[in-house]
């Protein structure tokens, strides 16, 4: 009998490609992603990998040509296809925003009434304007949206923003956030039971990689009379590990902290008398 496999679509070349391939590799899935390949097969996991343009991925997954895909939420929202968003993946974070020329007198969303807004996201933008009760003209262009106001093609734009430097260099100012986006794992709506089992296995690994990338392993030396106070700062997965050091009166404390809390916690640990603080990246983390 033919072995059941899942087919996953990844972006061929672009902002999602490296992280998408990297995520599967961190999940322990080996495959040859040599330059220019359109299709490959994992050697140690029942997965076939297609490399496509990101805009095509929701449709391929909706049609069942691929069972899974990794794509930006912005593309899923615009494509409006019947796919299931299974998991947020934490990379390619950005927002779809409306921006106006710096000198434009912007008071509220009503200031957009009657304007021509250039975008590659007509559906998402139109839905947003409708929700807000604003009537504006949505002008569809597919690239270099940010130059539209300066060449007289539009009064405002709606485009993806991450650092904001593209808007800044084009004399534009962000005034409304239409949606936040990050890479997501999407799936075909009607996977077969065997395919669902493979997806569960893949998801288990993806979640372990995600948790690991969000957390850091921390080791520190602590005077014994401070252990209790320090442990309160470091709840860890269950509770911190405390081991005696060769030097009496001191212990080594090991724990896991969220990367966003890192600097704040380290400052408090120093204040509590911790020394020799080491912070290590985690490859996988299973709760």
Site for ligand PRT, rule CB under 6 A: 11, 14-16, 53-55, 72, 74-75, 92, 94, 159-166, 181
Closest CA to 172 of 185, 188, 159: 159
Kindly write down the DSSP assignment for every residue of 33-49, as one continuous string. --TT-SEEE-SSSSEEE
Binding segment (CB under 5 A) for Zn ion, from list 52-60, 219-227, 231-239, 266-274: 52-60
Q: Identify the residue whose tokens are 């434009």.
A: 104
* Closest CB 123 distance from ligand PRT, rounded Å: 14
**C-beta nearest to ligand PRT: residue:** 72
The runs of H, that is alpha helices, within the chain are 17-26, 57-63, 73-79, 122-132, 165-169, 193-214, 227-233, 262-271
Contacting residue, 54, 67, 146, 176, with Zn ion by CB under 5 A: 54
Closest CA to 220 of 150, 269, 185, 174: 269
* Closest CB 54 distance from Zn ion, rounded Å: 4
User: Looking at beta carbons only, is 35 or 263 nearer to ligand PRT?
Assistant: 35
User: Looking at beta carbons only, is 163 or 248 nearer to ligand PRT?
Assistant: 163
Residue 207 CB-density burial (10 A; 0-12 exposed, 13-18 middle, 19+ buried):
middle
* Closest CB 232 distance from ligand PRT, rounded Å: 38
* Closest CB 120 distance from Zn ion, rounded Å: 9
Which residues in this chain contact Zn ion in the complex, by CB under 5 A? 54-55
């Amino acid at each position: 009998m033919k072995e059941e496999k899942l087919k996953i679509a990844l972006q061929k070349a672009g902002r999602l490609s490296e992280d998408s391939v990297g995520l599967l590799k961190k999940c322990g899935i080996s495959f040859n992603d040599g330059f220019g390949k359109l299709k490959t097969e994992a050697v140690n996991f029942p997965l076939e990998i297609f490399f496509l343009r990101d805009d095509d991925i929701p449709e391929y997954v909706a049609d069942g040509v691929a069972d899974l895909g990794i794509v930006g939420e912005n593309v899923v929202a615009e494509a409006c296809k019947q796919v299931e968003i299974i998991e947020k993946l934490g990379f390619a974070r950005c927002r779809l925003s409306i921006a106006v020329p710096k000198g434009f007198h912007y008071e509220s969303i009503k200031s957009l009434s009657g304007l021509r807004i250039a975008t590659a996201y007509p559906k998402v933008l139109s839905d947003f304007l409708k929700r807000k009760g604003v009537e504006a003209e949505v002008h569809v262009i597919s690239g270099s949206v940010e130059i539209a106001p300066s060449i007289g093609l539009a009064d405002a734009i709606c485009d993806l923003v991450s650092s904001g430097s593209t808007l800044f260099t084009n004399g534009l100012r962000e005034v409304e956030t239409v949606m936040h986006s990050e890479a997501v794992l999407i799936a075909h709506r009607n996977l077969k039971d065997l395919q669902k089992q493979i997806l569960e296995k893949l998801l288990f690994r993806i979640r372990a990689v995600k948790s690991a990338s969000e957390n850091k392993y921390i080791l520190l030396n602590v005077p014994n009379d401070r252990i209790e106070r320090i442990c309160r700062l470091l709840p860890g997965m269950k509770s911190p590990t405390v081991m005696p050091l060769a030097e009496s009166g001191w212990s080594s404390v090991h724990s896991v902290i969220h990367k966003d809390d890192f600097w704040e916690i380290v400052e408090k640990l120093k204040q509590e008398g911790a020394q020799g603080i080491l912070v290590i990246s985690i490859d996988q983390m299973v709760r």
